């Protein structure tokens, strides 16, 4: 297939003159041959400025669980556009949306809305500290909770768990954060004491390998956390509404004290939530913890989120088995094409989330992820782009409710060709990681 990226290259060049780095969020710079400039999206497909079409398995880094043009979301937003963009005041969508969250997410008894996952994480930590009267927070190595200073440590490909995610971070901001090994009950036991306000985790570590918790691990964390008088927070920004209607907590059967939602919650619009036990969230209800934001639950994003959640809810019996099937088909296509071409590839997948690594050994821990060759995967994503498949260069794989057998078939054909090319390139390299000098995943795990 002969695809050119001339228009994207021109747009990127133009952006570099006025947009710092030429991209709006750092991770997008990893795309090769250039950050693609898209002009349209519909269902599971995207079109770029050069007229190239792609089957999309990146889904805007997760939000487009209903595909790129979900009718119910778009109609709800159109209706609201005619009634005003924002009031900076209460409106009927707010309680309807809060009720929808409380109906669908097992841990949600009360909720509060923000605009992005990072903000909602920040709010959750503040609420947990107020509710417990304690300061320390335990996070896990490789888990990503947004770009704000305090929790943006221990996120990249480093064995130093306290390494800041970026230059410019204030190390003091993370002084009360401990970084713990995940899936290791003893490590957590050693860190937990009467000063810990909260333990926060991705219940399935999608950002670093789509790693699942070991059997019994979440239950053990819950027991230890509760015994220490601390709160358990699940960051379900990725897994919420994606792994089940009620998120990973419902799928895995462990209900945390608090939950953070974002991405798929908005059906493509920027909105997030922190929700949880009524006695904990009463810190916000009483006004003791101030929860603020000009755009919080604005009616446009609120209408989108309400329509998205109602769609998940109404169609849950078809949507979630379908998402599991599509996710499994995607992972199988990757595995089969890699095996046929002789590319050492590992794929972890749970429902509509997955992660692929070019690595010789199975990837089931944070340490295992460090054995992978991220440059080779970036190259695979470039080869796939040329074949009409759009994936996140770092390795996360997403499917939506709009992916069908047809998209999987296209993926299979593309993978056969791309893996074949990658295999010969790897064979001709002395060191596979020399494929690219940059890695696309070294420091920043998320969007
Ligand atoms: C698990 C998790 N938490 C929090 C965030 C931050 O969300 P946002 O990018 O909306 O600030 C992300 C973003 O990818 C995420 O994956």
Ligand 1 close to Cβ of residue 237 (< 6 A): yes
pTM: 0.96
- The closest-lying atom of ligand 1 relative to the alpha carbon of residue 447 is 14
Ligand 1 close to Cβ of residue 146 (< 6 A): yes
CA of 298 to the centre of ligand 1 (A): 20
Q: Which of 369, 350, 70, 293 is nearest to 358 (CA)?
A: 369
pLDDT at residue 447 in the model: 56
Ligand 1 close to Cβ of residue 225 (< 6 A): no
pLDDT of 174-226, one tens digit each?
999 999 999 999 999 999 999 999 999 999 999 999 999 999 999 999 999 99
Query: Which CATH fold topology does 71-314 show?
Result: 3.40.640
Contact by Cβ (8 Å): 420, 341: yes
CA of 117 to the centre of ligand 1 (A): 5
3-state secondary structure of 350: strand
Ligand 1 close to Cβ of residue 117 (< 6 A): yes
pLDDT at residue 30 in the model: 84
pLDDT of 223-236, one tens digit each?
999 999 999 999 99
Name the closest-CA residue to atom 4, ligand 1. 145
pLDDT at residue 157 in the model: 73
pLDDT at residue 441 in the model: 42
pLDDT at residue 377 in the model: 97
CA of 288 to the centre of ligand 1 (A): 26
| Residue length of the chain | 447
How far apart CA 379 and CA 361 sit, in angstroms, is 19
pLDDT of 383-414, one tens digit each?
999 999 999 999 999 999 999 999 999 999 99
pLDDT of 277-326, one tens digit each?
999 999 999 999 999 999 999 999 999 999 999 999 999 999 999 999 99
Ligand 1 close to Cβ of residue 121 (< 6 A): yes
Ligand 1 close to Cβ of residue 211 (< 6 A): no
pLDDT at residue 320 in the model: 98
DSSP label at residue 323? H
Ligand 1 close to Cβ of residue 298 (< 6 A): no
Would you state the CATH architecture of domain 6-68+316-435?
A: Alpha-Beta Complex (3.90)
Kindly list the domain boundaries of the chain, sorted by start residue.
6-68+316-435, 71-314
- Listed in sequence order, the residues at least 6 apart from 222 whose beta carbon sits closer than 8 Å to its beta carbon are 232, 254, 256
Band the pLDDT of 1: cuts 50, 70, 90: low
Ligand 1 close to Cβ of residue 165 (< 6 A): no
pLDDT of 332-384, one tens digit each?
999 999 999 999 999 999 999 999 999 999 999 999 999 999 999 999 999 99
Ranges of beta strands (E only) in 90-135 are: 110-114
């Amino acid at each position: 297939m002969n695809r050119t990226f001339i228009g994207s290259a021109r747009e990127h060049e133009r952006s570099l003159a006025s947009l710092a780095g030429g991209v709006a969020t750092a991770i997008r710079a990893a795309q090769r041959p250039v950050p693609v400039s898209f002009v349209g999206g519909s269902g599971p497909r995207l079109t770029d400025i050069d007229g190239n079409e792609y089957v999309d398995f990146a889904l805007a880094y997760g939000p487009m669980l209903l595909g790129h043009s979900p009718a119910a979301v778009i109609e709800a937003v159109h209706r609201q556009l005619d009634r005003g963009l924002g009031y900076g005041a209460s409106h009927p969508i707010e309680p309807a949306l809060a009720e929808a969250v409380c109906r669908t997410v097992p841990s949600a008894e009360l909720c509060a809305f923000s605009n992005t996952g990072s903000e909602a994480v920040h709010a959750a930590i503040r609420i947990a500290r107020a509710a417990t009267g304690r300061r320390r927070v335990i996070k896990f190595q490789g888990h990503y909770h947004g770009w704000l200073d305090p929790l943006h440590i221990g996120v990249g490909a480093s064995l130093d768990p306290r390494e800041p995610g970026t230059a410019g971070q204030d190390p003091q901001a993370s002084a009360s954060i401990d970084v713990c090994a995940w899936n290791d009950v003893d490590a957590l036991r050693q860190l937990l004491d009467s000063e810990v306000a909260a333990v926060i985790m991705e219940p399935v570590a999608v950002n670093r390998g789509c790693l699942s918790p070991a059997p019994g691990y979440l239950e053990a964390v819950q027991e230890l956390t509760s015994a220490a008088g601390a709160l358990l927070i699940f960051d379900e920004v990725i897994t919420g509404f994606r792994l089940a209607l009620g998120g990973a907590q419902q799928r895995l059967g462990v209900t945390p004290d608090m939950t953070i939602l974002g991405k798929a919650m908005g059906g493509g619009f920027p909105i997030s939530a922190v929700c949880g036990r009524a006695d904990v969230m009463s810190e916000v209800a009483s006004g003791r913890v101030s929860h603020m934001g000009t755009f919080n639950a604005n009616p446009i994003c609120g209408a989108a989120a309400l329509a998205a959640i109602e769609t998940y809810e109404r169609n849950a019996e078809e949507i979630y088995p379908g998402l599991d099937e599509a996710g499994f088909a995607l992972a199988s296509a990757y595995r089969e094409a890699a095996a046929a071409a002789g590319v050492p590839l590992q794929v972890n997948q749970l429902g509509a989330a997955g992660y692929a690594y070019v690595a010789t050994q199975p990837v089931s821990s944070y340490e295992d992820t460090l054995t992978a060759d991220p440059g080779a995967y970036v190259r695979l994503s470039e080869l796939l782009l040329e074949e009409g498949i759009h994936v996140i260069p770092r390795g996360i794989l997403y499917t939506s409710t709009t992916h069908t057998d047809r998209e999987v078939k296209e993926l299979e054909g593309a993978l056969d060709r791309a893996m074949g090319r990658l295999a010969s390139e790897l064979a001709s390299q002395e060191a596979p990681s020399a494929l690219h000098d940059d890695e696309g995943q070294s420091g920043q795990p998320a969007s």
